[in-house]
Amino acid sequence: MARGDRRDCAWRPLLSRGVGASVSLSSPTRGKTAHTKRPCPTMTEMLTVRPATRDALIADLKHSIDAQLLPLLDDAPFALVDYPDHSNVGDSAIWLGETAFFSAHHRRPAYVSALKNHVDDELAAAIGDGTIFLHGGGNFGTIWKAHQDFRIAIMRRFPDNPIVQLPQSIHFASEDSVEETARAIEAHGRFTLMVRDVPSLEFARRHFQCEVLLAPDMAFYMGALDRGPPKHDLFYLLRTDLEKSVEGQVRAGGRSIAVADWLAEDRMQIRLVLAASRLLTIADNPRVARVKTYDRLARARLDRGTVMLFSGRAVVTDRLHGHILSTLLDLPHVALDNSYRKLGNFIDAWTGGFDRLRTAEALDEASALAGDLLGGGRR
């Protein structure tokens, strides 16, 4: 297929079948209006079926990330901001995938920050006119306002730096918020938006004047994860926050079960991780020490989440990273959707063919499917 404007590509109906192709690429060059066009994907590329097994699927999705993100990574110092300094395991998994990507390509951010300790002058001193990478996830829109406000502020404060939003799901509940975001993106002129599902891709291309790229969630860049021995037949990881949509009660049905969300954490453990990190990084400069500390905190949170998941022989979850981490752990699991179809849209694009995944629309159906994944066995 010849080179051309992304709107000329025949990608829309094909992507809706659940393949994860992408069609355009923004250049990391320094000029505000300098962009290169990648060839539109061929029919074969767009109709590629994702692998069914864990290791092959991970390799495939890491390749998809490389194809989209590597051209945006140049040799200049760069920043990775909006570190998820909170208890949600999924965001820590994304962060670790992001730093794994940079490490795999022999790079380390010159500046990292969380909302509570970000300093514009420090970022500017560390990277000059280098690229600012914004942490990925599911907060592009109105549900998690603090992160959206920070994103817009970065665009306004750093008009001369390329800004790359790492893969996100988009959800807006207000047209005013869409328009505010659109104005900030258009005014900046060097913003690249990576999204992790097709509805987000279509929404962004309708509303935002920037390059929009489709890519998997960055957590896949961590690679395969090991699991320990299970304690229960079924583990239910179910949301208790603003994105909750699952109703009903879990019924044991003669199986051993456990039910939890992963938002609660042991503050003493976090303090111990911080104290140990201070000792281990005492010889490092402050910027390097912060990168290492963030990774250790994220790893502690990830470990807490994976221990919860592999406590079950099979998992039922309405959290996207319950699904993603179960995939990385090669755990049989059933996915229920959240309040705005974040899981379903992602699965349609990337993981729907995974042989240890089933999807359900209600809790009772999910429990029955999980029982089937166990082979009907009782304990």
Give the pLDDT confidence of 93-106 residue by residue, as tens digits: 999 999 999 999 99
- The whole-angstrom separation of Cα 52 and Cα 43 is 21
Element of type H or E holding 155: helix 145-157
In a domain, 378, yes or no: no
Under DSSP, the state recorded for 173 is S
Question: 202, 222, 242 — which closes off a domain?
Answer: 222
Nearest to 192 by CA among 221, 218, 214, 170: 214
Phi, psi at 338, each rounded to 5° = -90, -165
Mean pLDDT of 58-69: 97
Tens of pLDDT, residues 230-269: 999 999 999 887 767 776 678 777 899 999 998 877 777 7
Q: Are residues 147 and 256 in the same domain?
A: no
Phi, psi at 177, each rounded to 5° = -70, -40
pTM score, whole prediction: 0.85
Question: 171, 188, 222 — which closes off a domain?
Answer: 222
Phi, psi at 232, each rounded to 5° = -135, 165
Q: Are residues 152 and 288 in the same domain?
A: no
Q: How many domains does the chain have?
A: 2
Q: Are residues 289 and 206 in the same domain?
A: no
In a domain, 328, yes or no: yes
Query: Which residues have CB under 8 Å from 189's CB, separation 6+?
Result: 32, 33, 159
- The whole-angstrom separation of Cα 75 and Cα 108 is 11
Q: Are residues 151 and 245 in the same domain?
A: no
Nearest to 97 by CA among 317, 272, 299: 299
Q: Are residues 176 and 237 in the same domain?
A: no
Q: Are residues 162 and 54 in the same domain?
A: yes
Q: Are residues 65 and 167 in the same domain?
A: yes
Q: Residue 321's pLDDT is what? A: 97
- The whole-angstrom separation of Cα 97 and Cα 325 is 12
Lowest mean pLDDT among 222-236, 270-284, 323-337: 270-284
111 pLDDT above the threshold of 70 = yes
| Between 278 and 23, the higher pLDDT residue | 278
Q: Are residues 210 and 156 in the same domain?
A: yes
In a domain, 379, yes or no: no
Q: Are residues 218 and 237 in the same domain?
A: no
In a domain, 64, yes or no: yes
The residues that bridge with 163 in the sheet, in sequence order, are 132, 191
Element of type H or E holding 274: helix 267-280
Q: Are residues 177 and 296 in the same domain?
A: no
Residue range(s) defining the domain that contains residue 361: 232-373
In a domain, 175, yes or no: yes
34 pLDDT above the threshold of 50 = no
Q: Are residues 208 and 355 in the same domain?
A: no
Length reported for the chain: 379
Q: Are residues 64 and 163 in the same domain?
A: yes
**Do 261 and 338 meet the contact criterion of CB atoms below 8 Å apart?**
no
In a domain, 227, yes or no: no
Q: Residue 271's pLDDT is what? A: 77
Q: Residue 30's pLDDT is what? A: 44
Question: 222, 256, 278 — which closes off a domain?
Answer: 222
Q: Residue 47's pLDDT is what? A: 38
